[in-house]
Structure 1
């Protein structure tokens, strides 16, 4: 029996855990990839996804449109990642910070994962939403409460940083 997503959402809203699990199973890898590339640590990513799923299951009745399930889950995940990044930032202020990236770093070029880790939390979140969530700048802006033009310019700068970290020349 093939049940469509809208029916699964209706069932999940009535408290059927199996329906919620089927919905979650369909998007788990996208959620995890986003969290991992945003937070840089597998354990933090797993925690963020786990907290997202718990929150979503508890609040599934508040979901207004069944077709918005994936973006609703990503919005919850964005908020979880923000909390973790803010917590990390506060913790790092109390510790000695590592020396930031410098252009004279002899270990260049970095791998893509390492380069991604050099971006700010906001930059990682924007690019991850675009790459792993498939969101456009206006949708990312809505989720991050920023104008779409700001998202586009920040993402452009972030992609430029990635190219620089990876040792690729900017083509003009």
Structure 2
């Protein structure tokens, strides 16, 4: 997804319509990231909403217009990490009644089921790479991990996903 730096500049100048345009351009990716990371549609909606509110309030502090996408995904990934910590010791039901984002239901359900079986850190790393477009170095910096560790965990997680989807 290509973010127009001029729109970001307008949003930084408190143009609500420009921020709404930015939000519209990243919402699906933000939601997809949160949904596959957290495994729960309502929690995904909540963290995306919180992310957008924080981004709107803090966009004037964004140093580079070109960094908008990475910046908003960093906010989201931090919120997802906090939410995952809340899950410790809790079992959340998979809500099968809600449609999955932009996929036919059977394929989306299979992917969601396989993805939900990954460990929390594996889901977060794969989500950041696939939906956020982060490099292993960026993920490592955000998660306070060595980038080699990120690559190996991502590789193992993708291999697990492949195996689950092929069976």
TM-score of the two chains, using structure 1 as the length reference: 0.80
**Cα distance in 1 for residues equivalent to 2:160 and 2:9:** 44
Superposed, 1:55-134 pairs within 5 Å as 55-89=54-88, 91-92=89-90, 111-134=110-133
* Residue matched to 2:153: 154
Q: CA deviation at 1:63?
A: 0.6
**Cα distance in 2 for residues equivalent to 1:81 and 1:44:** 9
- Greater Cα shift, 140-149 or 26-35: 140-149
The reply to whether residue 40 of structure 1 matches residue 55 of structure 2 is no
Structure 2 segments unaligned to the other structure (5+ residues): 94-108
Structure of higher CA gyration radius: 1
* Residue matched to 1:17: 16
* Residue matched to 2:138: 139
**Cα distance in 1 for residues equivalent to 2:112 and 2:69:** 25
RMSD: 2.1
Structure 1 segments unaligned to the other structure (5+ residues): 99-109
TM-score of the two chains, using structure 2 as the length reference: 0.82
Aligned length: 150
Secondary structure at the aligned position of 2:114 is classed as helix
Q: CA deviation at 1:30?
A: 0.7
Secondary structure at the aligned position of 1:166 is classed as helix
> 1:131-151 deviations in whole A, cap 9, x for unaligned?
112222112222222121010
**Cα distance in 1 for residues equivalent to 2:11 and 2:166:** 48
Runs of 4+ in 1 over 4 A off after TM superposition: none
- Greater Cα shift, 5-14 or 52-61: 5-14
Q: 1:5 to 1:167 in 2, by over 3 A?
A: closer
**Cα distance in 2 for residues equivalent to 1:40 and 1:139:** 23
